[in-house]
Amino acid sequence: MEQPHGEKKSTGHRWGMVIDLDKCSGCGACEVACMVENNIPFVEKGDYQRSRSISWMKVVPETEGTFPEVRTKFMPQPCMQCDNPPCTKVCPVHATYLNPEGIVAQVYWRCIGCRLCMAACPYTVKYFNWHNFQQAQPAAMTQYANPDVSLRDKGVVEKCTFCHHRLMKVKDQARLENREIRPGEYTVACQDNCPSKAIFFGDLNDPHSEVARLADNLRAFRLMDELGTQPKVIYLAERKRHD
């Protein structure tokens, strides 16, 4: 079951992400970059306090210890895009599935909103539209909606898609120019806007790509690897510098 992180799965692309926790400055830009790019609605205070906010990318803090020996660690968590996703198995209607390039896709217009995938996801990175959030907002606030990405209706589950629309765009462009996608042509919003450049994205099947190289790093680990979900989001552990 256990496979090395950068292992070849198929001959095609296998998109993956590497997040260097040592470089990450815990700023949360990835969260908002994702919200802007993917038309993620904000939720009003009431729904926020009832834990209905949506954040495909989430910088999760973990504070350990007592004063003064305290450490807070920050871990940006998008969908882990598992190679063996527990969420796609349980979907009753083919609304979430692992696509051939390794992206766990979510078909909003087919989802019936049973939320079994949310219950099955051990990383808790799938989100539900509890209300028609965008419709409830003042009309002015939808003006900045990205036309490349659909607005989600109430009642469906959504999640990080590795900015799939960008891949489609890049592929269309490549097809029109009658060529293959170039390495580094397909980027994701969180990676583009990361101030400390802690997020790397690319083809894990391409041995020359930076992600493939970093995935073999000694610091590389995957979240809840023991579950056998084989995530394609790979973390590089923080280095200890205390002597």
Residue type for position 78: P
One residue of 8, 10, 12, 93 binding another protein per CB under 8 A: 93
11 binds another protein (CB under 8 A): no
218 binds another protein (CB under 8 A): no
Sheet holding 220-221, edge to edge: 199-203, 15-20, 233-236, 220-221
- For tokens 């993917």, what's the residue? 38
3 binds another protein (CB under 8 A): no
With beta carbons less than 8 A apart as the criterion, state whether 108 and 152 touch: yes
Provide the minimum distance between the beta carbon of 208 and another protein in the complex, in angstroms, as a whole number: 19
65 binds another protein (CB under 8 A): yes
Q: Which of helix, strand or coil describes residue 59?
A: strand
138 binds another protein (CB under 8 A): yes
68 binds another protein (CB under 8 A): yes
Q: What six digits make up the tokens of 227? A: 């579950």
* Footprint of another protein on 43-62 (CB under 8 A): 43-45, 47-53, 55, 58-62
Binding segment toward another protein, per CB under 8 A, in 2-10, 11-19, 169-177, 201-209: 169-177
One residue of 92, 179, 208, 218 binding another protein per CB under 8 A: 92
CA 8 to chain CA centroid, nearest Å? 20
One residue of 17, 18, 19, 33 binding another protein per CB under 8 A: 33
Q: Which is nearer to another protein, 7 or 32 (CB)?
A: 32
Residue type for position 209: S
132 binds another protein (CB under 8 A): yes
The CA angle 95-222-162, to the nearest 5 degrees, is 40
One residue of 10, 124, 180, 184 binding another protein per CB under 8 A: 124
Distance separating alpha carbons of residues 21 and 12, to the nearest angstrom:
28
224 binds another protein (CB under 8 A): yes
With beta carbons less than 8 A apart as the criterion, state whether 74 and 237 touch: no
* Footprint of another protein on 196-215 (CB under 8 A): 196-198
Q: DSSP alpha helices (H): ranges in the chain?
A: 29-37, 45-49, 86-90, 116-120, 133-136, 164-176, 189-193, 210-215
192 binds another protein (CB under 8 A): yes
Q: What six digits make up the tokens of 28? A: 């949360």
Provide the minimum distance between the beta carbon of 6 and another protein in the complex, in angstroms, as a whole number: 19
155 binds another protein (CB under 8 A): yes
Distance separating alpha carbons of residues 31 and 160, to the nearest angstrom:
11
10 binds another protein (CB under 8 A): no
